[in-house]
Structure 1
Amino acid sequence: MTTKNTIAVLVNDHPGVLQRVSGLFGRRGFNIESITVGQSEEAGLSRMVIVTVGDENNLEQIEKQLYKLVDVIKVIDLSSKPMVARELAMIKVKAEPPQRPEIMGVVETFRAAVIDVGTTSLIVQVIGDTEKIDAMIELLKPYGIRELTRTGVTAMIRGNA
């Protein structure tokens, strides 16, 4: 059964590691739906959080192939455990003064924030799971989305694990 998988990859913080990891996915024919990379809790190591779609066999192959890369320290299947996943989006929406109260209602409903106000637009920041971001985008589309950027998913296993 094909599912969305979220994996964390702990890697050495060296130039070219991101290219090698993403290249591995491309060579194997696996699509990366989103990827985030940043510092980890350990100096000299970065954590990549990758969302991909595939079945259990695909995921197993990805893990095996990742471990063959020299700079990969650890691969964790986050989606197999209870996890917390978040994404950030910034949405520049057309907002003439008469429309702003309606747009602000959407912003408040999603516990989002207006982070910039222009004469004919607003930039809205929303943080949450992918479904929340998608829902907010759908509600803002009728006003006219001028620009949209998303970080991709970042995630951690819940609790003490």
Structure 2
Amino acid sequence: MQKIPKQECTAEFKEQAAKRVKYGKSVVAQEVGLVEQTLRNWVKAFDVAVDLRRKSPTFLHWHAEHLGADNHRTLAIREGFAHGFHALTDDCELIDLHTAAYKPEAEAGLNALDPRIAIDWPRPVSEISAPDRQHALLDDGYSGIRVT
């Protein structure tokens, strides 16, 4: 899958990220006596984007990044891509920032184990949330979504 060009973060994103670092690392770590090295091993996730854009040359291709405190990576996901993640540590918490308000009626999903997409998960997928277990496999007639 093609890499998404690096873009500048919005002021809101930077503010939220700074708050997360301030409260997640400095204050909490000091209160419980943890050092930064310990925190680096706490949160790790395999973050995935799948191209669902109709007629895209990368239709149904996926791209993933290993996210964690030790590599400072993020993944920006454009319109027309599905997003999912696989927690690689217990109690993993991710924050998603969106360009529009959440609309429950617009929510949809893919089956994480769909062979048509064939995501190479770094570990066996042992737990899937109840709503995510309801997602069917894509059929051969699925042609993607139209992005304007």
TM interval, shorter chain, is: under 0.3
Choose between structure 1 and 2 for higher RCO, CA contacts under 8 A separated by at least 6 residues.
Answer: 1
Larger Rg: 1
Q: Which structure shows the higher helix fraction?
A: 1
TM normalised by structure 1 equals 0.21
